[in-house]
Amino acid sequence: MLKYCLSLVCGLLMLSCQPKEKSTITKIDKQTLIENALDKDVQLIDVRTPQEFAAGSIGQAINLNVNDANFSELILDLDKEKPVYLFCKKGGRSNRAAQIFKENGFTNIYDYSGGYDDWVKSGK
């Protein structure tokens, strides 16, 4: 009986130590953004400055400036289980933002690597 109980406890401990869901960052292109994020129930986030955002953005994106000192705190108001689509001007800041999202437990992170420059260059 003791052997059975120990086996059961060890099995439960092993299961509880498994990660719930692994965070992933996926680089995407314009077509993928159009198909999977525009007019969909996702979190589309422009991580550029408010000035850049005011000059134009993509779809119904919200602006959370990755350079703000409190960026990590601001993202905690978002749904960690819902897909997050990030973009900036060219891809550098969104890549950094994706890492911050991952560190904060977001599970489905998509980084539009072309950024807003790619969006306007090739037209929608």
**DSSP string for residues in the chain:** -HHHHHHHHHHHHHHHTS-SS--EEEEE-HHHHHHHTTTSSSEEEE-S-HHHHHT--STT-EE--TTSTTHHHHGGGS-TTS-EEEE-SSSHHHHHHHHHHHHTT--EEEEETTHHHHHHHS--
pTM over 0.95, yes/no: no
Residue range of the domain that includes 91: 21-121
What was the pLDDT predicted at 5?
43
- Tell me if residue 17 is catalytic: no
* Active-site choice (5, 10, 17, 88): 88
- Total domain count, the chain: 1
Whole-number pLDDT of residue 81: 93
Tell me whether residue 45 is in a domain: yes
CATH number at residue 51: 3.40.250.10
